[in-house]
Each structure stands twice: as structure tokens, then as C-alpha cells.
Structure 1
């Protein structure tokens, strides 16, 4: 399926893939049905959060993907990391717009709807 994204200055055509045709993407469930390992089709045109190698986190609308897990995100916002501790992210964001996340750098893809941050249930106060 071909999707067209129109901007004031230019137009981008993105191919949204059909169901997988590669054996590496399909596994047979215990019930005997063939299922995909990662079905991103249900997240197209929805908000997703992507964690990348190196610690970067990007949130945006998934516009397309391919079998190598290359992702096209529109309206992307990057969470800015703390200058003192690069492993921590701050509440600040940087607007990136339309981006392509290379599949080899993608570690996690999760929907933004239906998720919320909670306190760590395993964090116990230190004993004196």
C-alpha cells in the first residue's frame, strides 16, 4: 500500500508493507497458526515510542516500516538527556519532525496510548 504525506514544500510517498513474506518474520504458535514476531501494522498512524541504541528515545506517529525494522516517524520528539548523567532523560524534548529510524538501532517499539510511568515496585529503601 502506498501512503502519501503532503507538506507545504514537498510530498513524501511511503510504502506501507503488506503482511510479511519472509520466513524469519513468521513463527508457528502452539495453536498451529502462523503469526508475525512483531506486527507493526496495527501501530501505523498511531503514536509510538522508540528506544534506540546509545540511549536515545524518540516519540512520534508511525508512518511506515519495512522488514528490516526501519521506521518512518512523523512529528518526532526526542527526549533530551541530562548533561551530567547521559543515562538519564530530562523532561525537555527536541522537535525532529519527519525522521527515519534505522532498524539496526531500534531496541524497543511501544505504543504511547495506554502507557503511563509508575514507581518502581522493586525499589526498596536502604537499610541503615
Structure 2
């Protein structure tokens, strides 16, 4: 009974030698992932150049349809905002843009 763990796949039962990694590992001591090292990766490029919006008022839309209430005229200055993932839908400057009517909406005749 003392050697039963070897037959049932118990921990440390000596099955397969020393270089077999646990849980289906390859058995060698390379560590980490294969492929290029961290120093060889190309630098990630920004999708959007946010430098042109520095010190300017902007409108930001997020997914989910949450918007500010109509008639709210108060605003505040935010120093740094981090918007991660696919939450961001639109970034546009307040100056030089205006809201127009929906040209695709069918009017009743």
C-alpha cells in the first residue's frame, strides 16, 4: 500500500524521470515562452495621435450609449483619463464641429 501513489499517478511518484514538467510541460527548463525576446519586439504604434488634442476641449463617446443629460451646461477639467480596451468609440474636438440632423432618417410625408 505504501507504493500505491506510483500506480495511480500520485504526486512525485517518480513517473517519467526528473525533467518532465508538471501538468503536461515539455520537460525542459527553458522558462517563459519561446520566440523573440522582449528586446526584439517592434514598438507598438498608437492608433490615434492624441497630441493634436492636447490642451483642447474634446467630445468622447464610449460604447454602451451612456451620454450626458440634455440641458446640462456644466463641465469640468479632467487632467488624465485612461480609457482601455474597446470602450472608446469617438474622439472629436469641440471647436470646428457641430451636430447635424440625421440625413438617413425617413421623414413623414
How does the TM-score come out when normalised to structure 1? 0.41
Q: Which structure: larger Rg?
A: 2
Task: Identify, as 1 or 2, the structure richer in strand.
Answer: 1
How does the TM-score come out when normalised to structure 2? 0.46
